[in-house]
Amino acid sequence: MINWSSLSFLWSWVFWLIFAFLVVGVTFGSLYFRKKRKYTYPCLVLNNIGSGKLGVEKKKAGWFKTNKLLFGLIDHSGERRLEVNDGRIVQQGSTQDFHEIGFKRGLIVRAKDDDPKVLVPIKRAEIKNGELLESIAPADYRDASEKIMREAQKETISNMERIMTIVGFMLIVIVLFICIILVIQFANNNIQEANKILDEALKAKQDIANKINVQPAPTAK
């Protein structure tokens, strides 16, 4: 005879394990995206590549507190400091160090030559070779601006595609979780029905056995 109560207990544990896994996953996922949303400022990281040339990295920066929990997902206390989304800290960064990048407040920082993990803000910048701009015709200005706008639109579309992929994945997880609950509920109902049918069959078998074993009373001669 199948031990239905043990099977039901096993299904219950499987359900709670899956539920706990999903809860932990959703919690860490929400904390991860919450941290990502705090990187609100565009940031340009300048690297000296020699011969008077610069390498530029496009990053994001935000304000975080020094004391953190859960692998840095929660910052709860301490001094506020500027951090880049690759984990590097902007040394001695302040609100006075912001420039304008893409019509938004942003940072321009310089990486130390012998230790790129060390970043310092560029408070002021001086642009040279201005005579090149004066030598460009107005039509070329329009072509350059159109190219910049096209590149900005491509970047916006790419960001939207990434967001839609994440949203789609979360919807799939939610639908999968609902399906698992329905399957477990359906299995529990079938187990209960099967248990009732088995009890009725055993009872009917016992009744038949009792009727067969009944002996007729002897008749007087």
Question: What pLDDT shows up at residue 16?
Answer: 72
Contact in structure between 29 and 205 (CB atoms under 8 Å) = no
pLDDT per residue as tens, the chain (221 positions): 445 455 565 566 677 778 778 888 888 888 888 888 888 889 889 888 888 788 888 888 888 888 877 777 777 777 888 888 888 888 888 888 888 888 888 888 888 888 888 888 888 877 776 666 666 656 655 566 677 777 777 777 767 777 777 777 787 777 777 777 777 777 777 777 767 777 777 777 677 767 776 555 455 44
Say which residues have a Cβ less than 8 Å from residue 154's Cβ, sequence separation at least 6.
none
Question: In the structure, how many helices (H) and strands (E) does the chain have?
Answer: 3, 6
* Other Cβ atoms within 10 Å of 135 Cβ, number: 7
Question: Which residue is listed with tokens 């390498």?
Answer: 55
Question: How far apart, in Å, are the Cα atoms of 58 and each of 26, 107, 147, 167?
Answer: 29, 10, 18, 25
Give this prediction's pTM.
0.49
Question: What pLDDT shows up at residue 221?
Answer: 45
Contact in structure between 182 and 11 (CB atoms under 8 Å) = no
Joined tokens for residue 10: 């096993």
Q: Tell me if residue 3 falls in helix, strand or coil.
A: coil
d(CA 109, CA 123): 9
Contact in structure between 81 and 93 (CB atoms under 8 Å) = yes
d(CA 155, CA 148): 11
| CB-count exposure of residue 43 (10 Å: 0-12, 13-18, 19+) | buried
d(CA 58, CA 67): 26
Question: What pLDDT shows up at residue 8?
Answer: 61
Question: What pLDDT shows up at residue 144?
Answer: 64
